[in-house]
Amino acid sequence: MSPYELTVRDLGNGTLLFAISGELDLTNASELESQLENEAPDASRLVLDLNGVEFVDSAVLHVLFRLARRQGADGLVLVVAADAPIRRALTLVGLERAAALETSLEALDLPAG
C-alpha cells in the first residue's frame, strides 16, 4: 500500500491535473513516476497539485526533474502554496528553473474540465 494518493482529471486541450497527497519518498518514487507516465503519455501540459504532499525526498525530486525535462518548457506546472510543507525543498533544489511553480490552482489559466 502506497503512503500517497493520486487522482487525475482531464481538463481538455492536452492538459491533465494530478492531485497528489501523502508522503513521497524512495519507497514509492518509481511507482509515482510510472503512474504519471501511464496516465499522461501524450499530454502536452501536466499540472501537479502538490499541496496535499507532506514530505518529499531526493528520489522524488529527481522524478520531478525528469518529468520536467520530458514535458519541456511550460509543459509542467507544480502547484504548491507558499506555506506548504514541501515548498522549501522544491525551491532549495531550484525546481522553479525546470518547471513552473505556482501557489494555487486559481492562479492558473486552466481549461474548464
Task: State how many domains the chain has.
Answer: 1
pTM of the predicted model, to two decimals? Answer: 0.93
Radius of gyration of the chain (CA): 13
Average pLDDT (48-56) is 97
- Position 4 scores a pLDDT of 96
77 located within any domain: yes
Name the residue type at position 65. F
pLDDT above 70 for 112: no
Reported in sequence order, the residue ranges of 1-113 that DSSP labels E, i.e. its strands, are: 4-12, 15-24, 45-56, 76-79, 100-102
Average pLDDT (41-51) is 94
Candidates 7, 34, 16; CA nearest to 75 is 16
Q: Which domain holds residue 34?
A: 4-106
112 located within any domain: no
- Position 2 scores a pLDDT of 66
The answer to whether 19 touches 52, Cβ cutoff 8 Å, is yes
> How sure is the predictor about 1, in pLDDT bands with cuts at 50, 70 and 90?
very low
pLDDT tens for 73-95 read: 789 999 999 999 999 999 999 99
29 located within any domain: yes
Give me the CATH number covering residue 81: 3.30.750.24
113 located within any domain: no
